[in-house]
Amino acid sequence: MKILAKAGVSALALTLALSAAAQAEDVEVLHWWTAGGEAAALNVLKENLAGQDIGWKDMPVAGGGGEAAMTALRARVTAGDPPTAVQMLGFDILDWAQQGEVLADLNEVAAAENWDAVIPAAIQKFSKPDGTWIAAPVNVHSTNWVWANKAMLDEMGIAEPTTWDEFIAALQKVKDSGKVALAHGGQPWQDATIFDSAVLATGGPELYTKAFIDLDPAALNSPEMVQAFDKMTQLRGFVDDNFSGRDWNLASAMVINNEAAFQIMGDWAKGEFLNAGKVPGTDFLCFRVPGTAGVVTFNSDEFVMFKQGDDAAKQAQNAMASAIESPEFQIAFNKVKGSVPARTDVADTDFDDCGKKGMAQLKEASEKGTLLGSMAHGHANPAAVKNAIYDVVTAHFNGEYDSTQAAEELANAVEAAQ
Amino acid sequence: MASVHSTAEPDFRTKLQDWLPKLVLSPSVAAMVVFVYGFIVYTIYLSFTDSKMLPSYDWVGFKNYATLFGLSAWSTALVNLAVFASLYIVICMAIGLLLAIFLDQKIRGESVLRPIYLYPMALSFIVTGTAWKWFLDPGIGLEHTMHLWGWESFKFGWIKDRNMAIYTLVIAAVWQSSGFVMAMFLAGLRGIDNEMLKAAQIDGASNWQLYRRIVIPLLRPAFMSAFVILAHLAIKSYDLVIALTGGGPGRATELPATFMYSYTFTRNQMGVGAASAVIMLMGVAAVMVPYIYSELKEKK
């Protein structure tokens, strides 16, 4: 049976691998950063490696969340021909780490460059499971941001809200003026992204940790969770009728084009604002979702290294890992991507106001222990559980459940998915 | 001499003639056995294992099936399939038959009209889905256009309504397939013996009676083929849903195929995904087996 499977999968992999007859000193990189800015940022890494005579075999698999890329990767690994490095997120990394001997060991590079000290512990949980460095973190995105249209707020006399109630009052004021208050795209992951913040604003890091990281049934079906769902109902009242199925960047465009006042979205939204020629602080505001100050929910793109056969390939792999963690690449890449560097000892001089804010808050949260993996982006629990939570959150947001039912369903769904 | 040879061993040429078809066919048969039937068996096997992210071979019995039928998403998917498949098949056949009958009236320009109706079939479901997604979107499509033209009260927001979204799938799928069904019925109509119709007309049958009593019953094989093709298209429809609604709003347009993909490849629950694939296979078999059986019986 196993032979049969391998034959089939390798035939599948053959078509994917035809272009990838890599030389020993090349690195082959599977990623889904195909958008203009992302590709430009990867060039920095490419050039660094080219300076060390290491070739770059690009294996881009398009598709935002990387689902297609992960399917391609499975085929390659099952066929015994893994790429050098693969862009990956959160629990996908841990799932691969559990598959036994397929991942490389980067401890040597990590020790030489002192990664243990400069990379926040919350991120090491993913890049260094069981004490072995298997991945090089590229960036840290954080997801509890609000992006606001400054001109619109000034016109209506709305100050930057600092508490949840002020936020709701501000949303109401915008709604009363006839504009869309909250730009949102009704896709399950986007609903879950704002749910991250709703839970934090209700029960703080304690509820968040108990519910999403410990998966405690009592916390999942608690009165506080019902309140968190009530917050979702409140927010649902401020989105336009046409929200469902809209892509996140179209929602950002609504804020950019003065059609909507606020958007709750991760810091990749900043790229859309910058591309539209907007300046942080003067044209748009970035601030943490009111009620979640001091906490940072993150997701982190990492290059997971797969075990290579010969020494030359291993050398190239180590060089690549080292290049990724170099401050120059961290700065160049994250400036474009909207995220902040994965190491906390990088100078923030080259970053814009939002970037500086993000870096300072990341450092602070990391020291206080309030740097939490984002549930919505697969950094709090495994894919099966994450998707089970998505199901309930999106069903509630679309009116299938009331808040009490939703909390019950949440506990059931998480239990069933474990 | 030839006659001497023919009584003994057949010569090389004859042998080759015997073997050539088998030789030519064998690679494709082998490929089919492995890549279709082999993987069907493999999937069935996986559905009884605890496979999560990668295939694993630890036997867990019917556990995946129990999980599957306990999932509310799977029951949603089955109900959606029932609604979608029955409407899709019935409406496609009705429109297809009507178009075929109209086109069969020896009208001028038939050769132009036929490809116009048939053409949507040339588009993939993903294109159909994307086009209809834009057309049905209240913000940019039909509703928006009507508002621009001055009909302010016009409302058509089905695609954003979780109770109605499944019907937008039916609209797009019917648009895509009914021309093809028309072509099948048209071929059937052209195959009917004119003498029989003339005889009935002489006996004083009206047009309505002609179609109801003679033509439609004679189209039985065409109905059967259309049903089989539409039914399996409905069961395996995936790309249309992904392009049109992405399974939303919420999870309102989840179908078994989208369920299977998401559990196998994005939720790391390959065992449950394989179980749902097996159930889908059984659904297709429930359609195909009686059909093949009746086809074989007619040949006798």
Q: Say whether both A207 and A354 belong to one domain.
A: no
Q: What's the longest Cα–Cα distance across chain A?
A: 69
Inter-chain contact B245–A74, Cβ cutoff 8 Å? no
Considering only CB atoms, which chain B residues are within 8 Å of A77? 54
Structure-token match 């892509």, residue found: A247
Query: Residue B53 domain-assigned?
Result: no
Residue B53 with chain A: CB contacts under 8 Å: 74, 95-96, 99
Interface test with B, best of A2, A14, A244 (most B CBs within 10 A): A244
Crossing angle of helices A36-50 and A327-337, rounded to 10° = 170
Domain end, chosen from A330, A361, A392, is at: A361
pLDDT digits (tens, 9 = 90+) for A161-205: 999 999 999 999 999 999 999 999 888 899 999 999 999 999 999
Residue A326 domain-assigned? yes
Task: Tell me, yes or no, whether A399 and A303 share the same domain.
Answer: no
The pLDDT, as a whole number, for residue A383 is: 86
Mutate: best of B37, B54, B134, B155, partner A, most A CBs <10 A = B54
Whether A198 is covered by a domain: the verdict is yes
CB-closest option in A11, A67, A398 to B250: A398
User: Of A8, A77, A387, which is closest to B267 when you measure between CB atoms?
Assistant: A387
Q: Is the peptide bond before B249 cis (omega within 30 degrees of 0)?
A: yes
What distance in Å separates residue B131's CA from the closest CA in chain A?
A: 15
Give yes or no for B34 touching A (CB within 8 A): yes
Q: Are A256 and A273 in contact (CB under 8 A)?
A: yes
Contact A242 B160 (CB under 8 A): yes
Counted domains in chain B: 1
For residue B101, tell me if it sits in a domain: yes
Q: Is residue B276 a contact partner of residue B256, using CB atoms and an 8 Å limit?
A: yes
- The one-letter code for the residue type at A406 is A
Q: Is B249 on the interface with A (CB under 8 A)?
A: yes
In a domain, B35, yes or no: no
Dihedral, CA of residue B35, residue B41, residue B44 and residue B49, to nearest 10? -100
Same domain, A379 and A391: yes
Whether A370 is covered by a domain: the verdict is: no
| Contact flag B34-A74 (C-beta cutoff 8 Å) | no
- pLDDT tens, position by position, B5-26: 445 677 888 888 888 888 889 9
- Is A396 found in the same domain as A350? no
Considering only alpha carbons, which residue of chain B is nearest residue A66? B266
Cβ atoms of A110 and A254 within 8 Å: the answer is no
DSSP 3-state of A52: coil
Q: Say whether the ipTM exceeds 0.95.
A: no
| B248·A95 Cβ contact <8 A | no
For residue B157, the chain A residue with the least C-alpha distance is A242
Give the total number of structural domains in chain A: 2
Dihedral of alpha carbons A376, A381, A384, A389, sign: negative
C-alpha span between B263 and A391 (Å, rounded)? 12
B268–A7 CB contact, under 8 Å? no
How far, in Å, CA of A200 to CA of B273, rounded?
33
Q: How many CB atoms lie within 10 A of CB A418?
A: 11
Shared domain check, A18 and A102 = yes
Q: Are residues A257 and A146 in the same domain?
A: yes
- Is residue B174 within 8 Å of residue B91, measured between CB atoms? yes
Nearest 5°: phi and psi at A243?
-75, -30
- Domain enclosing residue B265, as ranges: 72-299
Q: Is A4 part of a structural domain of the chain?
A: no
State the average pLDDT for chain B. Answer: 87
The two three-digit tokens of residue B140, written as one number: 């940019």
Q: Which domain holds residue A39?
A: 9-141+299-361
In-domain check, residue B62:
no
Instruction: Note whether B39 contacts A: Cβ–Cβ < 8 A.
Output: yes
Residues on A contacting B at a C-beta cutoff of 8 Å: 1-2, 4-5, 7-8, 11, 67, 70-71, 74, 77-78, 95-96, 99, 186-188, 241-245, 382-384, 387, 391, 394-395, 397-400, 416-417
pLDDT (0 to 100) of residue A34: 75
For the ranges A62-71, B34-43, B100-109, B140-149, the one whose mean pLDDT is highest: B34-43
Task: Indicate the residue of B45, B70, B137 with minimum beta-carbon distance to A416.
Answer: B70
Distance from CA of B107 to the nearest CA of A (A): 44
Cβ contacts (< 8 Å) between B266 and chain A: which residues? 67, 70, 383, 387
Q: Which residues contact B64 (CB under 8 A, 6 or more apart)?
A: B47, B48, B271, B272, B274, B275
- For B162, the closest chain A residue by CA position comes to A398
- Judge contact between A270 and A165, C-beta under 8 A: no
Are A403 and A202 in contact, with CB atoms under 8 Å apart? no
Instruction: Tell me: do A104 and A156 sit in the same domain.
Output: no
Write down the residue that tokens 């559905």 correspond to.
B47
Residue A108 is given by DSSP the state H
Percent of chain B with pLDDT over 90: 35
Residues of A in contact with B246 (CB under 8 A): 187, 245
Q: Is B117 exposed, middle or buried (0-12, 13-18, 19+ CB in 10 A)?
A: buried
Backbone angles phi, psi at B212, to 5 degrees: -70, -40
DSSP secondary structure letter of residue A141 = E
Q: Which residue of A has its CA nearest to B72?
A: A413
Q: How far is CA B17 from the centre of its chain?
A: 38
Long-range contacts of A204-208 (CB under 8 A, 24+ apart): A204/A295, A205/A295, A205/A370, A205/A372, A208/A295, A208/A297, A208/A372, A208/A375
Beta bridge partners of A303: A87, A136
Is B71–A395 a contact, with Cβ atoms under 8 angstroms apart?
Answer: no
- Domain boundary residue among A318, A336, A361? A361
Chain B neighbors of A242, CB-CB under 8 A: 137-139, 157, 160
Structure-token pair, residue A375: 């549930």
Please tell me the distance from the alpha carbon of residue B146 to that of residue B148, in angstroms, as a whole number. Answer: 5
In a domain, B43, yes or no: no
pLDDT at res. B163? 86
Q: How wide is the angle at C-alpha B254 spanned by C-alphas B264 and B181, nearest 5°?
A: 105
Residue A229 to residue A222: CA distance in whole angstroms:
11
Which residue in the set A78, A186, A383 is minimally distant from B268, CB to CB? A383
Please indicate, yes or no, if residue B249 is contained in any of the structural domains. yes
User: At A186, is the secondary structure helix, strand, or coil?
Assistant: strand
Whether A229 contacts A237, CB under 8 Å: no
Q: Do β-strands A284-288 and A145-149 pair in parallel, antiparallel, or remain unpaired? A: antiparallel
β-bridge mates for residue A147, sequence order: A263, A286
B176-234: pLDDT as tens digits: 999 999 999 999 988 888 888 888 888 888 888 888 888 888 888 899 889 989 998 99
CATH of residue A154: 3.40.190.10
Please compute the mean of the pLDDT values over residues B140-167 and round it to a whole number: 87
In a domain, residue A80? The reply is yes
- Indicate the SS3 state at residue B78: helix
Q: Are residues A263 and A410 in the same domain?
A: yes
Q: Search chain B and give the residue with CA nearest A186.
A: B249
**A367: β partners:** none
The per-residue pLDDT for A111 is 92
Beta pairing, strands A85-89 & A260-264: unpaired
Q: Which residues have CB under 8 Å from A204's CB, separation 6+?
A: A295
Side-chain-facing half-sphere of A294: CA atoms under 13 Å: 9
For residues A272 and A349, membership in a common domain is answered with: no
Are residues A407 and A264 part of one domain? yes
Inter-chain touch A400–B162, beta carbons under 8 Å? yes
| Chain A neighbors of B72, CB-CB under 8 A | 391
* A5 vs B42, B157, B262: nearest CB: B42
Extract long-range pairs of A362-368: CB within 8 Å, 24+ residues apart: A362/A120, A362/A140, A362/A142, A362/A296, A362/A298, A364/A294, A365/A294, A365/A295, A365/A296, A366/A120, A366/A121, A366/A122, A368/A294
Task: Chain B: give the shortest CA distance to residue A213, in Å.
Answer: 17
User: Contact A229/A406 with Cβ under 8 angstroms?
Assistant: yes
Tell me if A367 is assigned to some domain.
no
User: Do residue B249 and residue A242 have CB atoms under 8 angstroms apart?
Assistant: no
Instruction: Check which CATH number belongs to the domain holding B102 and give it.
Output: 1.10.3720.10
Q: Does A407 share its domain with A267?
A: yes
CB A93 within 8 A of CB A300: no
Find the residue in A nearest to B43 (Cα).
A5
Q: Quick check: B251 and A74 CB within 8 A?
A: no
Looking at the domain assignment, is residue B207 inside a domain? yes
What's the maximum distance between 2 C-alpha atoms anywhere in chain B? 93
The Cα–Cα gap between A269 and A345 comes to: 24
pLDDT tens by residue, chain A, 418 residues: 444 444 444 444 444 444 344 444 789 999 888 776 677 778 888 888 898 888 999 888 876 566 778 888 888 888 888 899 999 988 889 888 887 778 999 999 999 999 999 999 999 999 998 889 999 999 999 999 999 999 999 999 999 999 999 999 999 999 999 999 999 988 889 999 999 999 999 999 999 999 999 999 999 999 999 999 999 999 999 999 888 888 888 899 999 999 999 999 998 888 888 888 999 989 999 999 999 989 999 999 999 999 888 888 888 999 999 999 999 889 988 888 888 999 988 888 888 889 999 999 999 999 999 999 999 998 999 888 998 999 899 999 988 889 999 999 999 889 888 7
Alpha-helix runs per DSSP H in chain B: 2-7, 12-32, 39-46, 63-70, 72-103, 110-118, 125-136, 142-148, 165-190, 194-202, 207-209, 216-218, 220-235, 239-244, 256-261, 270-299
List of E strands, A18-151: 26-31, 55-60, 85-89, 135-137, 139-142, 145-149
User: Does B25 reach chain A within 8 Å, measured CB to CB?
Assistant: no
Residues of B in contact with A381 (CB under 8 A): none
Q: How many CB pairs under 8 A join A and B?
A: 93
Whether B235 is covered by a domain: the verdict is yes
- A14 domain-assigned: yes
A129 and A146, same domain (yes or no) = no
